[in-house]
Structure 1
Amino acid sequence: MNMSIDSEAASASGLAWRHGFAGLGPAFFTELQPTPLPSPHWVGASADVAGLLGISEAWLRSDAALQAFTGNTVLPGSRPLASVYSGHQFGIWAGQLGDGRAILLGETAGGYEIQLKGAGRTPYSRMGDGRAVLRSSIREFLCSEAMHALGVPTTRALCITGSPAPVRREEVETAAVVTRVAPSFIRFGHFEHFSANGMEAELKALADYVIDRYYPECRGRSELAGNPYAALLQAVSERTAVLMAQWQAVGFCHGVMNTDNMSILGLTIDYGPFQFLDSFVPGHVCNHSDTQGRYAYNRQPNVAYWNVFCLAQALLPLIGDQELAMAALESYKTVFPAEFMARMRAKLGLGTVAGEGDAELVDGLLVLLAKGGVDYPIFWRRLSHAVGTGEFEPVRGMVPDQEGWDAWLATYLAEPRLADRARASEAMLAVNPKFVLRNHLCEEAIRAAKLGDFSVLQTLQRLLASPCEEHPGHDSYAAFPPAWASTIEISCSS
């Protein structure tokens, strides 16, 4: 298949390129071409992300775009490459890893990197085929955009293309490519790779690049002895703490928080065996491959701290002082609880001003929800309405410990910050989504797509783009999960 594209079609894309990461040199990546797929077709696309990149919707619907984002042609000015990194997987040092099925096309003039996931084998595929399947690509596409709409930092997804080419996972499935977008795909594992291999010059080059491009304020941070690398560590750990607070508040489980799946920019990255909570079960493990429960929902904040500690070890040759490195991590322990509490106050309609009893109020409610395995999204949505209407029975009926609920509710409603109930309800409805990407909804979209019907995916995409709106006529997408939802198993191949 021809690996080129005519200049007229290329210019129609509106993409202009620069290559910041590629400028770091060949120690950081391998240049290669994507591997073509036969008979590609469109599965889904995001007009919002296209606008972010300056791509017209008309071009995005073209055959030129279809071929380019399947990896069958290469846009002039792009510079496809796969990066090398290492990392800890399930808490164990795994050594060299790298982009095993992701190929970076380059960075646009607007500062966004574009990456094809599933575009073929790379030198870092480690016996893998370098492909993604339709199932996992739909999950990543929908969740990337759902998380963005919820205000959670995340990589984005421009489009999915599919192909009838067979790909073997637990069973034979069809291939797909998801085009994902982010300011940078650099991970903790990039730093670990060069540090573990004693490549201090490359480690410094990478750190300087990240500081100059994404954290320029670290050059002037005096509170860490004027050490820009310690300042970088602190900034990354704080962004990570904020991200964890957001995950926990929305009930998001990542499923595979290896250090190579942690973004240096504090983005949610690498959607695999993720899940939004149905029932509020703090110890829930969404990844069927995680037999030890390392990445359970309630362990995510501590795992994230463990990961930034690994980043600290990687940066230590540059920081030069172990105590300074530990000092740079210290704020994680205050930023996470403060950010989490701020988000829970918002969910409760208590505004931005902290109160003395906030922690007790939040903890008391979460204990009640955990006792009964209460449906997390529906509880918050019903509570949001009840605060405005005064009709709390639909909420009370969800909580088995009704005596405990009544006591908690009395304390909550006595809160002075709830004096204007109508205003509080409006604020709550703006942060407690009606529509959440539950596993069974993903599964329904996938089943339909396998039959060539992309209407469920499109409906979900539209609902999840404004998840806090009512969207009359679509209540079935916000209902309790069906019984079969509990039988869905997701793993590292998902």
Structure 2
Amino acid sequence: MSSLLSTLRLADAFGSLGTEFSTPQQPTPLPNPKLIAFDQSCMNLLGIPEEFAQQAEFAELFSGNLVLPESTPRAAVYSGHQFGVWAGQLGDGRAILLGELAGNEIQLKGAGPTPYSRMGDGRAVLRSSIREFLCSAAMVGLGIPTTRALCITASDYMVMREQPESTAVVTRVAPSFVRFGSFEHWFYRDDLPALRTLADHVIGKYFPELLNSDSPYAALLREVTKRTAELVAHWQTVGFMHGVLNTDNMSILGLTLDYGPFGFMEAFNPQHICNHSDHQGRYSYAMQPQIGEWNCYALGQALLPLIGTVEDTTAALSQYKEVFELKLAELWQAKLGLATRQDGDTELVAALLKVMQRNQLDFTYFFRQLSHLGTAQSDRDNVLRDLCVDRESLDQWLLQYRQRLASEGSQDAARQTRMKQVNPKFVLRNYLAQQAIEAAQKNDFSEIQTLQTLLAKPFDEHEQHESYAALPPDWGRALSVSCSS
């Protein structure tokens, strides 16, 4: 083992809770792993020197082939509601926690079977690993709370999904991977001591300021509800769709967790379903705010025995709508470049979304182009009008918008600068991810690197990569993503 690797010391805070919360589990070695991408900013977060990535042992460590002497890899147990139905015990079926470094847990996703694999092979495929790696980076660049992805190691080892696919391990990083379903597990097992142990761990480690409240458990629910409401508001205003918002995919820290069949809205349709396994549309774009609240109530049910009364539990949950609506209004205000909040702003946004839906306007492209608009009509109007089938509907809205800008004396240059700082030019469109995947399957990782650069600073112009900000090609609009990975 190199001297650099020997300096890594992983803590095991989650393991200290006891064997009922997780099972020690050694990763299954991945044949001939190779490092195909890493995130330097995430390495900086962990305090890992850049030269680590140049060593062969880096790929061995983060594929699970090499385990540090003081590390006790483990898989966590949890349960959850999936598509609104109680699914019972679940758990880390292909994720193995290595330990904690610099206040962050490091987890290998795709490192082989665990006791919670439910007959699965415990592996992740290259396709899904690239999507998670890139979308984690995209969310960081957008300023949206998320788990991180440190690196991807890949192998020629094949597994069967809809067809044979090559495997990979994505190394995920977060302060905690505890989920709503982690609490549901002990509630539905009627194990109050374990429920209390987990809650005390989460409060003491991540929310110590809540220890001074009259009811720390109610305060925990209130804080998680607030974070979740604000997270979903962020998603809505960048057009992000998670795709599978089961309670076992909800972070107790309010982070975007578990990137599966996600998507960024293109042609605007509130009913759009990004997961073709979601036959009822439970996790459509329009449903995400309601599902976020539903999941908080599921967590509230689990915490009820600790909180003590239905009234206190309901009070902690009741803020969801208000927090969501306030955050949503704040974010829309920024996207439209409004310096003040006025009566009628909610209606102005609603009218815009109707225009976007009527004309199936591309979410990211439209708002970026709107960021260039002036208070006086110009050729920039034609750029927006040319996107529309019903130009009159857009013209009517632009008239209202300009009147609203005039009401606060908006100055074009300052407003345009602000809008470009919140309306990204680049997002991880499905077709861009697919191009990177297909290139990687041919051992060409340059597209991953290009997307890393763009997604790390999605508000910058990156003029040499203008094509990555263009409207998607026809074939890209037809891509479909499922839960299979």
TM-score category of the 2 structures, normalised to the smaller one:
over 0.9
2:187 maps to which residue? 195
1:443 maps to which residue? 434
| TM-align CA RMSD | 1.2
2:149 maps to which residue? 157
Residues 151-300 of structure 1 aligned to structure 2 (within 5 Å): 151-221=143-213, 226-300=214-288
Structure 1 position 471 matched with structure 2 position 459? no
Contact 2:152/2:171 (8 A) holds in 1: yes
Cα offset, 1:407, TM superposition: 1.9
Flag structure 2 segments of 5+ consecutive residues without an equivalent.
none
Contact 2:10/2:98 (8 A) holds in 1: no
Distance 1:354 1:16 in 2: 50
Structure 1 position 58 matched with structure 2 position 51? yes
Provide the secondary structure at the position in 1 that maps to 2:467.
Answer: helix
Distance 1:469 1:265 in 2: 29
Distance 1:169 1:17 in 2: 34
1:460 maps to which residue? 451
**In structure 1, what residue type is equivalent to 2:452?**
Q
1:409 maps to which residue? 398
Cα offset, 1:400, TM superposition: 2.8
Cα offset, 1:76, TM superposition: 2.7
2:353 maps to which residue? 366
Distance 1:319 1:340 in 2: 29
Provide the secondary structure at the position in 1 that maps to 2:3.
Answer: helix
Contact 2:375/2:402 (8 A) holds in 1: no
Moved segments of 4+, more than 6 Å: none
Residues 324-363 of structure 1 aligned to structure 2 (within 5 Å): 324-351=312-339, 353-363=340-350
**In structure 2, what residue type is equivalent to 1:10?**
L
Contact 2:124/2:169 (8 A) holds in 1: yes
Greater alpha carbon shift after TM alignment, 386-395 vs 470-479: 386-395
**In structure 1, what residue type is equivalent to 2:134?**
L
Distance 2:467 2:294 in 1: 40
**1:412-445 CA distance string (max 9 Å, x none):** 1122335211100000011111111000000000
Q: Choose the corresponding residue for 1:481, options 472, 476, 480.
A: 472
Provide the secondary structure at the position in 2 that maps to 1:255.
Answer: coil
2:83 maps to which residue? 90
Provide the secondary structure at the position in 2 that maps to 1:166.
Answer: strand
1:431 maps to which residue? 422
Contact 1:194/1:200 (8 A) holds in 2: yes
Distance 1:168 1:319 in 2: 46
Structure 1 position 29 matched with structure 2 position 17? no
Distance 2:408 2:272 in 1: 33
Distance 2:107 2:201 in 1: 19
Identity %: 55
2:412 maps to which residue? 421
Q: Choose the corresponding residue for 1:134, options 121, 126, 130.
A: 126
Greater alpha carbon shift after TM alignment, 147-156 vs 384-393: 384-393
**In structure 2, what residue type is equivalent to 1:189?**
G
Provide the secondary structure at the position in 2 that maps to 1:163.
Answer: strand
**1:62-88 CA distance string (max 9 Å, x none):** 111110001001023322000000000
Contact 1:388/1:422 (8 A) holds in 2: no
Sort the Cα spacing of 1:428 and 1:165 in 2 relative to 1 into closer, same or farther, 3 A.
Answer: same
**In structure 1, what residue type is equivalent to 2:344?**
G
Provide the secondary structure at the position in 2 that maps to 1:473.
Answer: helix
2:92 maps to which residue? 99
Cα offset, 1:388, TM superposition: 7.7
2:5 maps to which residue? 10
Provide the secondary structure at the position in 2 that maps to 1:8.
Answer: coil
Distance 2:375 2:97 in 1: 48
Distance 1:92 1:305 in 2: 16
Residues 373-384 of structure 1 aligned to structure 2 (within 5 Å): 373-384=360-371
Cα offset, 1:7, TM superposition: 6.2
2:383 maps to which residue? 394
Distance 2:329 2:238 in 1: 12
Cα offset, 1:20, TM superposition: 1.4
**In structure 1, what residue type is equivalent to 2:354?**
V
Cα offset, 1:387, TM superposition: 3.1
Cα offset, 1:218, TM superposition: 1.9
Cα offset, 1:409, TM superposition: 1.1
Provide the secondary structure at the position in 2 that maps to 1:422.
Answer: helix
Greater alpha carbon shift after TM alignment, 413-422 vs 252-261: 413-422
Greater alpha carbon shift after TM alignment, 380-389 vs 50-59: 380-389
Distance 2:145 2:84 in 1: 24
**In structure 2, what residue type is equivalent to 1:159?**
C
Provide the secondary structure at the position in 2 that maps to 1:267.
Answer: coil
Sort the Cα spacing of 1:453 and 1:478 in 2 relative to 1 into closer, same or farther, 3 A.
Answer: same
TM (norm. structure 2) is 0.97
Contact 1:115/1:179 (8 A) holds in 2: yes
Structure 1 position 303 matched with structure 2 position 256? no
Cα offset, 1:213, TM superposition: 1.1
Contact 1:249/1:343 (8 A) holds in 2: yes
Aligned length: 481
Contact 1:121/1:131 (8 A) holds in 2: yes
Cα offset, 1:365, TM superposition: 0.4
Provide the secondary structure at the position in 2 that maps to 1:23.
Answer: helix
Distance 1:487 1:481 in 2: 10
Contact 1:387/1:424 (8 A) holds in 2: no
Contact 1:347/1:432 (8 A) holds in 2: yes
Provide the secondary structure at the position in 2 that maps to 1:26.
Answer: coil
Flag structure 1 segments of 5+ consecutive residues without an equivalent.
1-5
Structure 1 position 148 matched with structure 2 position 140? yes
**In structure 2, what residue type is equivalent to 1:160?**
I
Contact 1:388/1:425 (8 A) holds in 2: no
Provide the secondary structure at the position in 2 that maps to 1:129.
Answer: coil
Sort the Cα spacing of 1:354 and 1:27 in 2 relative to 1 into closer, same or farther, 3 A.
Answer: same
Sort the Cα spacing of 1:479 and 1:418 in 2 relative to 1 into closer, same or farther, 3 A.
Answer: farther
Contact 1:349/1:418 (8 A) holds in 2: no
Greater alpha carbon shift after TM alignment, 67-76 vs 116-125: 67-76
Cα offset, 1:9, TM superposition: 4.5
